[in-house]
Copies of this chain bind each other. A is one copy, B any other.
Amino acid sequence: MRYELYYWPGIQGRGEFVRLALEQAGADYDDVARHDSGAMMRMMDAKAGTKAGVKPGPNGGPPFAPPFLKAGKLVIGQTANILLYLGARHGLAPKAAAGQMWLHQLQLTIADLVAEIHDSHHPLGPSLYYEDQRAAAKRRSAEFWQQRVPKYLGYFAQLQAGSGGAYLTGRRLTYVDLSLFQIVAGLRYAFPNRMERFERTIPGLVALHDKVAQQPNIAAYLASERRIAFNEDGIFRHYKPLDRD
């Protein structure tokens, strides 16, 4: 089965967590919007289910926002939900139901962190430009690095340290490790100064990042043009004033 991924074509964004899982799995997928820019919007236009597209019903319906994944007849929205689905099917999650639920819980905590990363440059709301909320972004970024980064990354670092392996839940790589790779890479891009100092306190997560980057499928992906470069339209944005204390 060929998956269809629907996400904004110009950014890594939340879609990148899905792309990394598909790439590591060696799954056959079409990143649809990269070659058909109208396709995603046509699916979103069909929200009411009155046109062609995804009709609502008890077993499915139109997604609120991208990314969403088409897998045969299924249309799966919400990043963590997509990974819950893919993880079980591609060896990126434990086989036991309890393990899958635990991994999903961790991914949902990463989703909370991702929302806070976005808020660091958009504290007054996603509909306003960064340029219209610079002062608030500076305050929020400072609070984010003082309080939130240590809390989130400290938690994940503790789990990795206690896992008995290089990865977050042990010796086997899961989709959560792929996502943590992206968190470390993204924070390095957005806040090179702050992150350089902070990452000395989380050597286990840095090693995890490096080990993920060395996976053959991931290394090939990162070197390909399928990997969109970080930029100032995504989750991780580099604005110099936000990177200064």
| Residue in B closest to A172 when the chains form the complex, CB atoms | B58
Tell me how far the C-beta of A31 lies from the nearest C-beta in chain B, rounded to whole angstroms.
Answer: 20
User: Residues of A within 8 Å of B, CB-based: how many?
Assistant: 60
- A123 touches which one: B111, B123, B152 (CB < 8 A)? B123
Q: Which of A20-28, A60-68, A204-212 contacts B (4 or more CB under 8 A)?
A: A60-68
User: B136 contacts A102, CB within 8 Å?
Assistant: no
Beyond A47-B158, A58-B94, A119-B119, whether A109 also contacts B163 by CB under 8 A is no
**Which of B76, B108, B147 is in CB contact (< 8 Å) with A78?**
B108
Alpha-carbon distance between A17 and B226 when the two chains are bound, in angstroms: 40
Set of chain B residues within 8 Å of A47, measured between Cβ atoms: 155, 158
Does chain B have a CB within 8 A of A115? Answer: yes
Q: Give how many copies assemble into the complex.
A: 2
Pick from B77, B102, B128: contact of A105, CB under 8 Å: B77
Are A74 and B56 touching (Cβ within 8 A)?
no
Give the contacting residue for A104; candidates B65, B81, B98; CB below 8 A: B81
Residue of B nearest to A115 (CB): B115
Q: Which residues of B contact A80 (CB under 8 A)?
A: 108
Closest CB in chain B relative to A109 CB, distance in Å: 5
Taking A76-B101, A124-B140 as known contacts, 10 extra A-B pairs with beta carbons closer than 8 A to each other, sorted by chain A number, are A57-B163, A58-B172, A59-B102, A61-B159, A64-B112, A81-B101, A81-B105, A119-B123, A123-B140, A136-B136
Please list the 4 inter-chain residue pairs (A to B) with the smallest Cβ-Cβ separation, ordered nearest first.
Answer: A125-B143, A78-B108, A59-B99, A127-B147
Interface pairs (28), CB distance under 8 Å: A47-B155, A47-B158, A49-B162, A55-B162, A56-B159, A56-B169, A57-B170, A58-B102, A58-B163, A59-B96, A61-B102, A61-B159, A63-B105, A78-B105, A78-B109, A80-B108, A81-B101, A81-B108, A85-B101, A115-B115, A119-B125, A123-B123, A123-B136, A124-B143, A125-B140, A127-B143, A128-B143, A136-B139
